[in-house]
Amino acid sequence: MNKQGIRNQVKALMNRNDFTDALADTFIDQGVARIQRTLRVPAMEKMEIYTASEQTPDTLILPNDFLELKHIYVVYPDRSYTLQYKDLDSFLRYPTALNSRPQFYTRIQGSLKMKPSPAEGDETILVYYGEIPDLVNNTDENFVTIIAPDLLIYGALSYAADYFVDERKAMFDESYNRIYAELVEQATSSEMNQSGLAVSPGFNYPEY
């Protein structure tokens, strides 16, 4: 379903003569913002590949649509492994080793820092949850409008009920929470099913 379809459904369910397209679009945008504040499902996962440069070998600039980190790992011919998070104080106290591979990372503002620094040309993979694309044009779609349009519809209806002081708000919220829980359960089940596959682990964790 595209944005126009979502808007038509929201307006039809509210069934008010004073419910304009502009208001509906505002509530839809608020619904998208509400969903992405907490929802973390595979459809939101993205990947960024960083190649260490001579100028900033230890720095990874976070993508503009970054919401939350899922995995960060380094890739070498003999093995690949995830990095361990350290709070800033612990990270700064860790000595900078020469000719060594990165083991730790921390976040500083809009970037991640690694220690030790990777060598020039080494690759680091960032797997993260990205923002849900905005719905700008009537024909626009995103993963929510495709796999769970009813979640966005009821999210927008909840904001509309606040605006119009509509007594159906509790019903809209109940439907939103039910659909949201179904998505989370589906994502959790998918992760568990994948972990049970009979394959060798994709990454080895380093010993410290």
The Cα–Cα gap between 164 and 140 comes to 27
Residue 169, SS3 per DSSP: helix
| Tally of CB atoms within 10 A around 164 | 15
Nearest to 145 by CA among 46, 35, 68, 67: 35
pTM of the model: 0.84
pLDDT tens digits along 10-34: 999 999 999 999 999 999 999 999 9
pLDDT bracket for residue 194 (50, 70, 90): low
CB 106 within 8 A of CB 89: no
* Residue 36 pLDDT greater than 60, yes or no: yes
Residue 2 CB contacts under 8 Å (≥ 6 apart), including other chains: 135, 138, 139, 140, 141, 145
Nearest to 59 by CA among 113, 97, 124: 113
User: Which residue is it, tokens 């719905």?
Assistant: 135
pLDDT tens digits along 48-90: 999 998 888 899 999 999 999 999 999 999 999 999 999 999 9
